[in-house]
Every structure is written in C-alpha cells, then in structure tokens.
Amino acid sequence: MATLGIPQNTIAILQKYNFNFQKKFGQNFLIDTRVLDRIIESAEITKDDCVLEIGPGIGTMTQYLAEAAREVVAVEIDKNLIPILENDTLAEYDNVTIINDDILKVDINKIVQEKNNGQPIKVVANLPYYITTPIIMGLFESHVPLKSITIMVQKEVADRMQVGPGTKDYGALSLAVQYYAKPEIVANVPPNCFIPRPNVGSAVIRLTRHDKPPVEVKDEAYMFALIRASFNQRRKTLLNGLTNAGNLGVTKEQITEALEQMGLPATIRGEALTLEQFGELSNLLKA
C-alpha cells in the first residue's frame, strides 16, 4: 500500500472520492511520514498490542498502526469516510475493525473486552481538537484498561497537561491528567504537516497510565470537585473560591482550619497547590 503520509497520495484519494472536509469534525489529515513514524515509535506499538484509534480520517495513521500492532479498532464519526477506509485504504488489512460512531458514545470497555479480553489497550490518535478534553477525561474516568494514550493535540493543550503549579497554564486539566498518568511531550508539529492546515500549532503527547495514582484520596470525585472550584475563580484566594462554590459541603471555618493544618497561608491561591496538596486538602475536608 502506498503510504498516505506522502501528500500526493492523500490528495489522490481525496480527489478520487470527491471528499469535502468537514470543519465541525476537526478534520486535519496528517501528511508527514516523519511525524507518523515518530507517533508509532513513541507509542511503542508491538505485535502484542491492541490499539484503539480515534478518528482515522482516510486511514493514514491506521495503516502504520495495522502494520505495527496485532489488532486495531478505529472509530470514525464521519460516514463519508467509511467507504474510503473499507474499500480502499484499509481494504488489505484483516486486523483492522472500523466502527462508524461518535467516540463519546461508544462503549470502549466493551471493545476492550471483545478485542483484548479486557487486557489494557493503547490509544493512539490525531485527535479532533474540539473534543480533546472530554475524550481524555472520558477514557480515564470510565476506567478503560489502558497502557498509554499517545495523541496529537493543540500545542497549548499539551502544555497544559504537562505543567506544574505556579504557571499560567496550570489548571484542572493538568491535575486530572497527572493524577491518572505521566505526561510527556514527544514532538512539536507545525501546521504544514496537515491538510488542511490548522490555525494552531500541535504537539504529540504520551500519557503513560500510572499503576497507582501518586496520591491516595478517600473520594476522587470530591477531590476533582474541589480542584474545579479552585480554578473556576482563578483570581480569588483558594479560601474564597471554595467557600463560594456552594457544592462542597464545607464552611469557611473548616477550610481555614484545614489550610492551617497543612501549614498553608489563608491567602494562598489554588494555582499554587500541588496534586499532593489537593489530595491532602480533599481528605481533610471530607473527614
């Protein structure tokens, strides 16, 4: 199969099927073989792996995944792409299953059960940027058995996942990702590696699932409610932000006492707290 990573081959397929890009689906197809090689290499795909690909497009990365993995399941929302994948670009691979559906509606746990006996899978994707956060959080929160997630995202979002306290990018996404996984940016990818070109820079980030979260919390959902409340009112002190939230079931006095117990000043802002400190605060307030 001639690789679609070469721009002329992608253009030939798009013309053959008279394909119209749908902006609402975040369609930017990769046309750079070096970036494709880098993604496959960073995801460390082997013939033991079952891979879930979100949004195969015309199947560019799917071809690479099919060569490297034992099994690939590709979920694509755009019905106009299905005949291209089934009859043309992926026709010669018998280890690829194509599902025409919205990834946010698919039962991924069921796929893992059927295709990999419930054993951890790898997720690899050049994500549609308009739903990056719900896809990642959905994968983590529904406790899909996962080894890693290797994804192309907007550069700014990759930065947000990786940073620690005290920076402007630090927020609820950084903490959620770092609770579940170790993030590592493995490549920066400029707009000219895609057709059509996106308006933003992109990055490939690998999230390696922790065996055990780095903090022990009594109630994960409560800690995440606390984190969201802390960053909802970024310019307020943590004390005021949490008091105003109204859904945490604690008084201003209880929060003051907990901060004191942790040796933190009452004037501290949420963006200064580490994941470990959010864990500790959540355990104190829940008690």
Q: Which is nearer to ligand SAM, 4 or 258 (CB)?
A: 4
**To the nearest whole angstrom, how small is the minimum distance from the Cβ of residue 20 to ligand SAM?**
12
Q: Which is nearer to ligand SAM, 206 or 269 (CB)?
A: 206
Instruction: Tell me the residue number closest to ligand SAM, measured at CB.
Output: 55
Q: Which is nearer to ligand SAM, 84 or 227 (CB)?
A: 84
Burial 25-53, CB ≥16 within 10 A → b, else e: bbbbbbbbbebbebbbebbebeeebbbbb
Q: Which is nearer to ligand SAM, 25 or 179 (CB)?
A: 25
Q: Residue 150 has what DSSP assignment?
A: E
**To the nearest whole angstrom, how small is the minimum distance from the Cβ of residue 188 to ligand SAM?**
16
Q: Which is nearer to ligand SAM, 49 or 280 (CB)?
A: 49
**To the nearest whole angstrom, how small is the minimum distance from the Cβ of residue 178 to ligand SAM?**
25
The answer for 246, left when phi > 0, alpha when psi is -120 to 50, beta otherwise, is: left
**To the nearest whole angstrom, how small is the minimum distance from the Cβ of residue 185 to ligand SAM?**
18
Locate all alpha helices (DSSP H) within the chain, ordered by sequence. 7-16, 33-42, 60-68, 82-84, 108-116, 132-141, 155-162, 172-180, 220-232, 238-245, 252-261, 275-286
**To the nearest whole angstrom, how small is the minimum distance from the Cβ of residue 16 to ligand SAM?**
16
Q: How far is CA 235 from CA 167, 241, 267, 271, in A?
A: 13, 9, 11, 9
Which tokens hold the place of 119?
């054993």
What is the binding site for ligand SAM (CB under 6 A)? 25-30, 54-57, 60-61, 75-78, 102-104, 126, 128, 131
